Amino acid sequence: MKKQLGIVGMGVMGRSLARNWAKNGHSLSLYNRRISGSEEGVALALTQQFEELRQAAAYEELSDFVASLEQPRKIVLMVTAGPAVDELIAELRPLLQPGDLIIEAGNAHYLDTERRMSMLNVHKINMLGLGVSGGEQGALNGASLMAGGTPSAYALAEPFLKSIAAKTPSGQLALKHIGPGGSGHFVKMVHNAIEYAEMQAIAEAFEFMYTLMGLDYDAIAQVLEAWNGSSQQSYLLEITSRILRTKNEQGYVIDRIADRAAYNQTGAATLVEGALWGAPLSMVASALFARFISNKKAQRQELAQYAERSLEAVSVSPDELKQAYAFTRIINHYQHFEMIAAFSERLGWKVNLSDLCAVWSSGCIIRSTLLQQLMPKVNGQLSVLFDKAAREELFAQKPSVKKVISAAMENDLPLSSMQAALIYYQQLTQEQSSAALVQAQRDYFGAHGVYLKQSAENLTFYPWPK
């Protein structure tokens, strides 16, 4: 009997999605490439390892895998983003027929997704770009799903996606057809950028408490657990307190982890796209650069010998640090929501930010109470820094942010994320900036023109003295 759904790529996410679909009653064909000596019989081994996959068919020949599927064929690709996806689609395309569907479920760049859609459309093959968030546990037990593509492509995939989507706090599915083209992969890309900055903000709060406040891991975990029991509740806070409490016979695990953070393309891709279109994404920039510098370990060790650091007592309370953390999170979400709104308008995607909050409120890595709080605030036009209540909250939190950053600067403790949030807020609330001088300089050396205040719509080339 032909199988309902085919899955390509049996890495952590691919096999977890397969197990989820199998548990929900879908018949599956599984495919993993064969590389002698390193990847042999991978799909078959999984059908023997997991009870729910016993009825799945395993393949190492792509043609046999495709032939095993009912028509129109529905094939999920869960392989490393980039050239590997193009190579796989090139192998698949001659084996497919008009009306078949490819669901690209990796972290593809949205422009790559749109290029692939255009190519497949020539052959009347459907494609859906699917953003999947939640990591291994989300893929296995209920993920946050963001789909982009035509309504007809989404209709083919919807029954399968519904069965593996997480449930939101309101009981809805964490699943949304975001819009056409690469919109699904675009919002997943931005989701990951929010995640980068959220993780950096937590890491900075941890370092402040550990280095300047003298708290041990258990005490910091206790503070974070208290924050997590408040309006700042989030999955990332929850797992951070667990990490800090984790010990074995050698002591705290965190003590044996090197201070080098890895990164993938999505954070950088968001920053690049924002820079190309004038979106001031200072939050993901600060988080990315912190990761980049963390990998310069040898240089850091050498320079640390010459950097004088003297720790002074700080009078910052956990509540003041919490206010600084909350301030940073609001700025982080606002910057990235503003980017999504701008791209949606420019590309005609009509992304509903309120729906996006709902999709991200369960199953995904950045799920939090904040997203639920923002849901009604972004229902319609995105206002400057969300709304009046949010603006008042930021204003009230600013003194704590400045106090935390000042204490950190006095002790040479870099809080790049919190500083980026404060600087962004200061710039955005500064009615008169220094940009007039910058533009005058550009006009002087490059004849780029200036906008004079009395005729702000007309570009003027001023006759500067040479």
Domain ends where: 181, 212, 232? Answer: 181
Q: Classify residue 411 by burial, with Cβ atoms within 10 Å: 0-12, 13-18, 19+.
A: middle
Are residues 107 and 45 part of one domain? yes
Are residues 277 and 254 part of one domain? yes
Average pLDDT over residues 192-212: 97
CA–CA distance, 311 with 212 (Å, rounded to integer): 7
Are residues 122 and 255 part of one domain? no
137-166 residue pLDDT tens: 999 999 999 999 999 999 999 999 999 999
Are residues 41 and 82 part of one domain? yes
12-59 residue pLDDT tens: 999 999 999 999 999 999 999 877 766 778 899 999 999 999 999 999
The residue ranking higher by pLDDT, 246 or 382, is 246
Are residues 421 and 279 part of one domain? yes
What is the SS3 assignment for 435?
helix
Are residues 139 and 85 part of one domain? yes
Whether 409 has a pLDDT exceeding 70, the answer reads yes
How big is the chain by its Cα radius of gyration, in Å? 25
Are residues 277 and 242 part of one domain? yes
Are residues 254 and 113 part of one domain? no
Q: Which residue type sits at 428?
A: L
336-369 residue pLDDT tens: 999 999 999 999 999 999 999 999 999 999 999 9
Domain of 451, in residue numbers: 434-466
38-48 residue pLDDT tens: 677 889 999 99
What's the pLDDT at 312? 80
Under 8 Å CB-to-CB from 337, ≥6 apart: which residues?
353, 374, 378, 382
Average pLDDT over residues 203-208: 98
Whether 70 has a pLDDT exceeding 90, the answer reads yes
Average pLDDT over residues 54-74: 95
Are residues 366 and 349 part of one domain? yes
Mean pLDDT of the chain: 94
416-419 LR contacts (CB < 8 Å, sep 24+): 416/200, 416/204, 416/286, 416/287, 416/289, 416/290, 417/197, 417/200, 417/201, 417/204, 417/283, 417/286, 417/287, 417/290, 417/328, 417/332, 418/201, 418/204, 418/324, 418/325, 418/327, 418/328, 419/286
**Which CATH number do you get for residue 443?**
1.20.5
The residue with tokens 């890595």 is: 365
**Which CATH number do you get for residue 30?**
3.40.50.720
Average pLDDT over residues 127-141: 94
Are residues 451 and 396 part of one domain? no
E strands along 35-111, which residues? 57-59, 74-77, 101-104
pLDDT band at 92 (very low <50, low <70, confident <90, very high): very high
Q: What is the value of pTM for the model shown?
A: 0.94
CA atoms within 13 A on the CB side of 210: 16
**Which CATH number do you get for residue 360?**
1.10.1040.10
What is the SS3 assignment for 77?
strand
What's the pLDDT at 34? 78
What's the pLDDT at 38? 66
Using an 8 Å Cβ cutoff, are 146 and 129 in contact? no
214-229 residue pLDDT tens: 999 999 999 999 999 9
Are residues 404 and 338 part of one domain? yes
Domain count, the chain: 3
260-318 residue pLDDT tens: 999 888 999 999 999 999 999 999 999 999 999 999 999 999 999 888 777 787 899 99
Whether 81 has a pLDDT exceeding 90, the answer reads no
Q: Which residue type sits at 432?
A: Q
Catalytic site residues?
188, 195
What is the SS3 assignment for 28?
strand
CA–CA distance, 361 with 169 (Å, rounded to integer): 7
The residue ranking higher by pLDDT, 207 or 264, is 207
Domain ends where: 132, 165, 181? Answer: 181
CA geometry: angle 274, 106, 338, nearest 5 deg: 25
